[in-house]
A and B are shown apart, each in its own frame.
Chain A
């Protein structure tokens, strides 16, 4: 009999201890704080009206112009060639990555970027083949000036959706302006060296780069967009969280 009572007591105490643990961990306030801390409660979005309109403009542009063009292009150009072209452009953007890695004092990454540039430009035939990444496992370290500013503690500022370029924020727009100087496919008269001869060439090249890149990711993007219930907050949240993550890396 004593045993039974003991067993009962034991099981009861186990149950209550479980409940006690539960009460401790399952504080919904705790969860609320975790998610509110991120951004939704005190979100400062003064341009929301404009941003929403620009989001649907960009979306229409993508749906009716960019995607059909990219798909037509993908139909003509084999995937291997498109991958090569994407690699070629990524290799060209080396100055942006190098300078921003250096600015963030990421010297090892800067060195790896340089190794990649040298190897891919030579053995990889002008960067078409990512030899460093595929054969030697030396990965690119994407950094831009927006991330550099973030690295030094500059806040993102409010969200701004740019025409054609898509989601951005005040900090990253400043960053874009900085990176423009380092981007080889831009044409800037004030810059001493230009790869291209005119603004027209620069626009055409950028368009080609964009179409080529889009053609490689149409499926993923469409799939990603399907998750959206409300496109503007969906993209805004994705962009801001992603940028924060990239800055912290």
Chain B
């Protein structure tokens, strides 16, 4: 009995520490992720679909898609939705983010990404600044982490050249919802990439 309990407690503790990314680990953890991602990207033998799947496996553990969806929609709008709609929206939003990322893969050649700086903004916020180097240009990308309920650090937004991805969606969603019902927004998220036919 004693042993069983001890094992249970131990596994519980281990599980906790397995999934929680600690503050001091963020830099190394992200450097590993970036290195893994770059290796996958550079591998010419892997098909594009397979590539993205492997990359998503990395992302899914560090991106909080639900929070991202919530922030992109805005607190008021989010609170007004029934849970079913919330999760439908979250799913569509996650797909949109991934699709947009997938398309960026086509532009990838041999850029290098290096971690520049880790800054603790507040108790529960960390900004990790990275530089993407292409030819002789340098592009700044900031990953924004927050400490979630489990004490694990998760990404809730990414700044590219000073432009927040969440803010970009937030302004668009606000604009759409000012004129149209929520259903319409879902529709637009479903097939956003078809070039609008010009009459």
A28 neighbours in B (Cβ, 8 Å): 70, 75
Cβ A40 vs Cβ B2 within 8 A: no
Contacts of B5 in A (CB 8 A): 4, 7-8
Chain B nearest CB from A135 CB (Å) reads 10
Query: With contacts defined as CB atoms under 8 Å apart, how many contacts are there between chain A and chain B in the complex?
Result: 128
- Whether a CB of chain B sits under 8 angstroms from the CB of A220 is yes
Give Cα A233 to B123, complex, Å.
Answer: 32
> By the criterion of a CB under 8 Å from any partner CB, how many residues of chain A are at the interface?
49
For A7, list chain B residues within 8 Å (CB). Answer: 5-6, 9
**Do B167 and A229 have beta carbons less than 8 Å apart?**
no
What count of chain B residues pass the 8 Å CB interface test?
Answer: 49
- Interface: A191 (CB within 8 A): no
Kindly list chain A residues whose C-beta atoms are within 8 Å of the C-beta of B148.
22, 25-26
Quick check: A237 and B163 within 8 Å, CB to CB?
Answer: yes
Q: Is the CB of A245 within 8 A of B71?
A: no
Are B162 and A242 in contact, CB atoms less than 8 angstroms apart?
A: yes
Q: Measured between alpha carbons, how far is A242 from B160 in the docked complex, in Å?
A: 9
A32 interface contact, C-beta 8 A: yes
A contact set with B: CB distance below 8 Å:
3-4, 7-8, 10-11, 14, 18-19, 21-22, 24-26, 28-29, 31-32, 35, 38-40, 43, 60, 130, 133-134, 137, 139, 219-220, 223, 226-230, 232-234, 236-238, 241-242, 244-246, 248
What residues of chain B have their CB less than 8 Å away from a CB belonging to chain A? Answer: 1-2, 5-6, 9, 12-13, 16, 67, 70-71, 74-75, 96, 100, 103-104, 106-107, 123-124, 136, 146-151, 156, 161-164, 166-176, 188-189, 192-193, 198
Known: A226-B100, A237-B168, A237-B172. 16 other contacts (CB 8 A): A14-B13, A14-B16, A22-B147, A26-B146, A35-B164, A35-B166, A40-B171, A223-B107, A229-B172, A229-B173, A230-B175, A230-B188, A233-B174, A237-B167, A241-B167, A241-B168
